[in-house]
Structure 1
Amino acid sequence: MTTAPRLAWLDALRGYAAAVVALFHLSPVVLGSERHLAVYRQFDLGKYGVLLFFLVSGYVIPMSLERHGSLRRFWIGRIFRIYPAYLFTIGIAVALAAAGLYRLPPQWAAETATTVLGHATMMQDLLGVRGIVRPFWTLSFEMLFYLLVAALFAVGWHRASAWWAAGLTLVAVLGGSRLPPDLLGATEADRLWSAVVVSLLISVCFVAYGKNALFGLGVLVLALANGHATSWVTSASSAQALLILAVMFAGTVICRAQHGQIGRRAATVTLLLVATGLAVHQWQASGTGLLRWTLLTAAVAGTFALAWALRRRRVPGVLTWLGTVSYSLYLLHLLVLGAVVRLTGDPVITVLAFAAGTLSVAWLAHRWVERPGQAIGRRIGERFGVAEIATQGGTPRTGSFGKQRESV
């Protein structure tokens, strides 16, 4: 029996989520601030799209690592999957800033060393540093999740996904505002030292593939006690940072339940706990209605569940294509939007130019930056005796912004 394409439904979900985030950022330009805020007060479209990305990452990453059974393969695949487009986006932003078409965050001048280290490790948001492009904040949580998963795998604790999802949720909800937001980043000196230490820890995890990966657990303190070190970052609190990680581990729980590694009852209880904790925390932290956050949580869960239920159906090609270019689309769309806004004030032209420009730039970046980067990763893997690095069709594609296959 031939195998069906794996996770085409996740490609569709990824492409959909990327489009949702892009539309969220386009909304105030087209609708105006007041109408945009009116919609936002009812439903946070941006958070909805981002939480879908986090669920996808949690679903895919741990199982990818376990299937290949090698931390070396994992990190080579990760680095050459996510860094080329990331560095390319930074280069474009700096070039636009030099041309007077983009404004760099003020920390780039005031805290240059911390900012560079934060971006080099992708941990900027959890170090109190504003990303050069706002969507970079989610990459901090992606990287933290990679470090945690690698550490758990190294010591054989990787099957405890439900305990991690439930534990992080309970700590976030019960700790709430009592968790320190800036223990390691309240001052410029604190942020610099934290960035140095985190860079060293991550470097050890990158180059040492045995139980030294356990050092990755140390970075968890950033989410636990440094979730909102400065007003420049997007994460609103340490409790919210922990809940983001809980959502990612919830994605792992779904995958483990699907493959019989976790009982369905235990998985259901865990997922309900995470969903309830997420809604209750947002309600307590924002002071807005519980119904609003319950609907948001239900929408995220419902969208993922619908995509999962349809996973064996043929997926429209446009959605799988969006999933293929979703990483570059996610990173670059705000730069395109800024350029479009400077060129035209007509709403219709803005929408058309933004859509065409974002999709074109995303395709170009995927074709000429992402894919060559992956090819370099394969060659390096072969040099280290790692012939296949989480590959499908010769292309490493794992994580929130990639695809795999699964046997049926």
Structure 2
Amino acid sequence: MAWLDALRGVGALAVVGEHMLPWILPGLRPYWFNMGMYGVLVFFLVSGYIIPASLESRGDVRAFWISRIFRLYPLYLLVIAVALIIAIWVPVRVQVPRDLSGVAAHLTMLLDVVHIGGLADPMWTLSYEMVFYLLVTALFVRGIHRASGVYAIVFGAIAIVAGIIFDSPILGGPWPAIISGALFLTGLTCLLSGNFRTTAAYTLGLMAVILLLFSGYVPWFGAAILAVMFTGTTLYRWEHGTGPFWPVLASAALVAISPVWSIQAGWWWVQPQVWITTLALAAATFAAARALRDRTIPRTLVWLGLVSYSVYLLHHPLLRLLPEFFGDMRDLTLTTRLALGTGYLATLLLLSWATYRLVEGPAQRLGKRLARRTA
């Protein structure tokens, strides 16, 4: 699975580049595709490919969720603490409400699908990871999880329809975050304890879909992301001889045209040419890595994949500090900006290595031990 780690490393660096270049080297930022969305799509394809396989190989919902909790939350909570400390110098984003809804949304990671901003900007993608986990769990418990190609096509079609119908979240206000927070905690407790596990899985899966379509910032975009993730699962099934390949092409076509008629598609990176180019590059990167998976993967890329979660979550809070120390960096000389960029990347990688060694790695090992013990 080293090729998947390498893909995570490539995705993380692309997101860092998207956020760093406008501040330090704006002339190098490409506009014929979106680097950040390219990296995010690579991440989602990897998650779609491996997460359902992880659940199925375990065959145990409790073990799966123990593993996910210890994989995601320790570093996530650390970054929340870091962001709050940085708020001493850089105010917290206005998109983060200062009430119970903000706490609930961060607790569940369902930030984007309850229309609440995260303390660290990249946290929005974790919303769709969590929606995917909840939905896959419900499908697994029901025994209908192998029809991944159908789900990819369905969510691709929903993305098109949602783009035509919705121009804002239907379920507004703070209550989606608060209610989903209560349901999430209750349902997760049931999944881990085994009490009312089936009911909890169905409830959480249904809640995830409702939030995605009726409470998310951009419903068509959320549905398109789920289509991409299920496309990754469809690839896995085709590769192992348990599903056809054609749904991959069908869902890709639906995702490609999903923003064309969307009301909420005014950003430059969802204009058809840029959007399709970004999708194609992400798909080509995934396909190339898969084709080369039997060859020796460069250790640097594998290492970047191991620390990619830390790189992804830490890079933006760290980047927000730079203007506090150096002002508008675009006014500095090229030599100074290159030095700042190099120093920033070196600091980011060093911190990411440290958080992986001290937080991520130990937490993952503990999660695996607990998962094996409860399986």
Would you call these one fold, judging by a TM-score over 0.5? yes
Q: Secondary structure at the match of 2:110?
A: coil
Q: Which residue is 2:2 aligned to? A: 8
Asked whether the equivalents of residues 318 and 348 of structure 2 are also in contact (C-alpha less than 8 Å), the reply is yes
Q: Which residue is 2:294 aligned to? A: 312
Matched residues in 2 for 1:376 and 1:157: separation? 31
Matched residues in 1 for 2:11 and 2:174: separation? 35
Alpha carbons of structure 1 residues 307 and 246: separation in structure 2 relative to 1, 3 Å: same
Q: Which residue is 2:116 aligned to? A: 129
Q: 2:250 aligns with which of 273, 298, 303?
A: 273
Q: Which residue is 2:319 aligned to? A: 337
Letter aligned with residue 26 of structure 1: M
Q: 1:144 aligns with which of 125, 131, 134?
A: 131
Matched residues in 1 for 2:78 and 2:176: separation? 29
Asked whether the equivalents of residues 117 and 199 of structure 1 are also in contact (C-alpha less than 8 Å), the reply is no
Q: 1:225 aligns with which of 214, 217, 236?
A: 214
> Mind listing any 5+ residue stretches in structure 1 that lack a counterpart?
1-6, 229-236, 387-408
Q: Which residue is 2:333 aligned to? A: none
Question: Could you tell me the percent identity over the aligned residues?
Answer: 37
Asked whether the equivalents of residues 341 and 350 of structure 1 are also in contact (C-alpha less than 8 Å), the reply is no
Q: 2:174 aligns with which of 167, 181, 188?
A: 188
Matched residues in 1 for 2:66 and 2:312: separation? 22
1:156 lines up with 2:150 in the alignment: no
Matched residues in 1 for 2:309 and 2:139: separation? 26
Q: Deviations over 1:220-258 (max 9, x none)?
A: 111121221xxxxxxxx2111011011000000000000
Q: TM-score w.r.t. structure 1 length? A: 0.83
**Cα deviation, residue 216, structure 1:** 2.3
**Cα deviation, residue 129, structure 1:** 1.0
Backbone CA RMSD of aligned residues: 2.0
Letter aligned with residue 342 of structure 1: E
**Cα deviation, residue 206, structure 1:** 4.4
Matched residues in 2 for 1:282 and 1:206: separation? 38
Q: Which residue is 1:389 aligned to? A: none
Matched residues in 2 for 1:136 and 1:273: separation? 29
**Cα deviation, residue 190, structure 1:** 5.1
Q: Secondary structure at the match of 2:145?
A: coil
Matched residues in 2 for 1:107 and 1:50: separation? 21
Matched residues in 2 for 1:105 and 1:197: separation? 26
**Cα deviation, residue 155, structure 1:** 1.1
Asked whether the equivalents of residues 153 and 254 of structure 2 are also in contact (C-alpha less than 8 Å), the reply is no
**Cα deviation, residue 75, structure 1:** 0.6
Alpha carbons of structure 1 residues 203 and 130: separation in structure 2 relative to 1, 3 Å: farther
1:296 lines up with 2:278 in the alignment: yes
Matched residues in 2 for 1:220 and 1:290: separation? 26
Matched residues in 2 for 1:324 and 1:147: separation? 24
Q: Secondary structure at the match of 1:353?
A: helix
Letter aligned with residue 329 of structure 1: V
Q: TM-score w.r.t. structure 2 length? A: 0.90
Q: Deviations over 1:369-401 (max 9, x none)?
A: 11221233244346x544xxxxxxxxxxxxxxx
Letter aligned with residue 274 of structure 1: S
Q: Which residue is 1:395 aligned to? A: none
Alpha carbons of structure 1 residues 55 and 125: separation in structure 2 relative to 1, 3 Å: same
Letter aligned with residue 293 of structure 1: W
Letter aligned with residue 81 of structure 1: R
1:84 lines up with 2:93 in the alignment: no
Paired residue total? 359
Q: Secondary structure at the match of 1:116?
A: helix
1:51 lines up with 2:41 in the alignment: yes
**Cα deviation, residue 203, structure 1:** 4.2
> Mind listing any 5+ residue stretches in structure 2 that lack a counterpart?
330-335
Letter aligned with residue 205 of structure 2: L
Asked whether the equivalents of residues 173 and 281 of structure 1 are also in contact (C-alpha less than 8 Å), the reply is yes
Q: Which residue is 1:102 aligned to? A: 90
Q: Secondary structure at the match of 1:284?
A: coil
Residues 332-341 or 366-375, more deviating: 332-341
Letter aligned with residue 271 of structure 1: V
Q: Which runs of 4+ in 1 moved over 6 A?
A: none
Asked whether the equivalents of residues 107 and 181 of structure 2 are also in contact (C-alpha less than 8 Å), the reply is no
Asked whether the equivalents of residues 6 and 305 of structure 2 are also in contact (C-alpha less than 8 Å), the reply is yes
Letter aligned with residue 294 of structure 2: R
